[in-house]
Amino acid sequence: SAMALRPQVCAQLCRRPCYCPWVPPRCPRGSPLVLDGCGCCKICARRLGEPCDFLHVCDQSQGLVCDYSTVPAGTGATCNFEDDEEGCEVNGRVYRDGEVFQPSCKLQCRCLDGGFTCVPLCQEDVRLPTPDCPYPRRVEVPGKCCPEWICEARDRHLLRDAGAASPPLPYPCQEWGTEWSACSATCGVGFSTRVSNQNRYCRLETQRRLCMVRPCPALPAAFP
């Protein structure tokens, strides 16, 4: 087993006394400085899905261990959860499989099978010019997460919520929509789109959600 090889590997890789760079490496966000496998020099902990070995250890604070189960396939060891659960990493933070999270007030995401999908929490309706609102424009409003429609008149500005201009329908909306498109990226974060009228005002709108089929393969780290 990998654990049985540790003393032999240690004798081959670990030199005494330690010879470390004067300046410790600058780590990417979400990768803390830790001691290497020899307990000698400070290195950046490897994150979920990144390559690892005896010397280049995984981030134990995130529950990651060096997973050697893929070694016979010739792909090398990678950092994985100790209990073999799938997870996903967003902005340097690792989420467990099935966990729902909000990276911003505009998005709600769910971690699923090593990737994640997100749905917007703000409406993406389209507002066409009307006689009472000839110049509709969407603007960010201080203190509010979602942008709102503003009706620009020549002599004054009127802030109008989309709901004020279009009251909810008095009859049931006959739902119509296309299927979600394929993810725009084969690895890493992309987005899929659909056209649907499944909203409060039964208007056709283009809806988007983030998606990730699988993480992109990590680049091999250069030795110091």
Which residues are CB-contacts of 58 (< 8 A; sequence separation ≥ 6)? 45, 46, 47, 50, 52, 64, 65, 66, 79
pTM exceeds 0.75, yes or no: no
Asked whether residue 51 carries a pLDDT value surpassing 80, the answer given is yes
173-201: per-residue pLDDT in tens? 777 788 888 888 888 888 888 888 777 77
Asked whether residue 6 carries a pLDDT value surpassing 70, the answer given is no
pLDDT value, residue 46: 93
* DSSP-derived 3-state class of residue 127: coil
Strand order in the sheet with 157-159: 136-139, 148-152, 157-159
pLDDT value, residue 224: 52
> Domains (ranges, CATH) in the chain?
11-84 (4.10.40), 88-120 (2.10.70), 125-152 (no CATH), 176-215 (2.20.100.10)
Query: Nearest-5° angle of CA 97, CA 37, CA 56?
Result: 55
What percentage of the chain has pLDDT greater than the value 90?
8
198-224: per-residue pLDDT in tens? 777 777 778 888 888 888 876 655 555
